[in-house]
Amino acid sequence: MIRNISVRSFYTSCTHLKKGPSKAKSHSSHQWLTRQMTDPFVELAKMKNYRCRSAFKLLEINEKTKILQPGQTVIDCGASPGSWTEIAVNETNANGKMKNKPKGFVIGIDLLSIHPIEGAHLLSHSDFTLTKTQDQIRELLKGRKIDCVLSDMAPNSTGVRSLDQDKIMDLVYNVLRFAILMSSENASLLVKIWDNGNVKKFEEIALRYYKTFKHIKPEASRSDSAEKFLLAKDFRGLENITNSSSN
């Protein structure tokens, strides 16, 4: 059974600086600024007009795995500021710019504000973990099944490693549950986690529903970051899973 999730607070990977009086915060802000100034992906994001450097994580993953294709329906959880949604729109042709390709459908959701993206349906200031938000997504889908669920969500850090790990795993279980209920056969699921001992259990559960599972650390993911991505591919189909369980 997939555990019931009730996490209410998270940020995307492109966090914003917060002003504060403490020396620790000032030192942290200085480190962040220094890292940004020396990060080639930050400059490349500006050159390519992407909203955030994290765009290159999804671009690299998609180049290797082809999880995004024209005509697909894609959900992007933790979308702000919108770089993954932009990539999903372009790759699925949700903006209709590829005239000879099928047109996709993309929804982006985040607690934070997301500025408009051509070809995307956006739910800003929306908590994905709430039933009412997931009902809103279903209404937008109008019966469509999802071909790919993306999640770059991460919780607010408490500084307590074990607690932070539990919180991000709660988020990915919530995304997994939604994906299982709403995905088409052969769909994909890509979620961000922080490397910890709970991943093995998640993998075991995911493999009940998907045929393949792999760990990915894209080049654009900073080497000193504990983040990595888990990719489950080839969803078995809820009907097939139900029939298999009843036999």
**DSSP calls for 20-31:** -SSHHHHHHHHH
- pTM of the complete model: 0.81
pLDDT of 89 higher than 80:
yes
pLDDT of 185 higher than 60:
yes
* Residue 167 annotated in active site: no
Question: 158 pLDDT band (50/70/90 cuts)?
Answer: confident
- Contacts (Cβ under 8 Å, ≥6 apart) of 21: none
Q: Which CATH class is domain 52-246?
A: alpha beta
Question: Is residue 79 a contact partner of residue 108, using CB atoms and an 8 Å limit?
Answer: yes
Instruction: Give the bridge partners for 191, in sequence order.
Output: 151, 230
Confidence at residue 27, expressed as pLDDT on a 0 to 100 scale: 46
- Please state the separation of Cα 214 from the chain's center in Å: 15
Task: Write down the domain spans for the chain.
Answer: 19-49, 52-246
pLDDT of 67 higher than 60:
yes
Query: Could you report the per-residue pLDDT of 14-60, keeping only the tens digit for each?
Result: 543 333 444 444 544 444 344 444 455 555 655 556 668 788 899 99
Overall average pLDDT of the 201-224 stretch: 91
- In whole angstroms, give the CA distance from residue 110 to residue 63: 25
Q: How far is CA 230 from CA 1, 77, 112, 216, in A?
A: 19, 14, 24, 6
Confidence at residue 4, expressed as pLDDT on a 0 to 100 scale: 42
Tell me how far apart the terminal alpha carbons of the chain are, to the nearest angstrom.
Answer: 18
| Greater pLDDT, 245 or 216 | 216
| Beta carbons within 10 angstroms of residue 11's beta carbon | 18
**Which tokens go with 26?**
């000032």
Q: How far is CA 200 from CA 146, 204, 205, in A?
A: 25, 6, 9
pLDDT of 97 higher than 70:
yes
- In whole angstroms, give the CA distance from residue 154 to residue 134: 18
Find the catalytic residue in 97, 101, 132, 192: 192
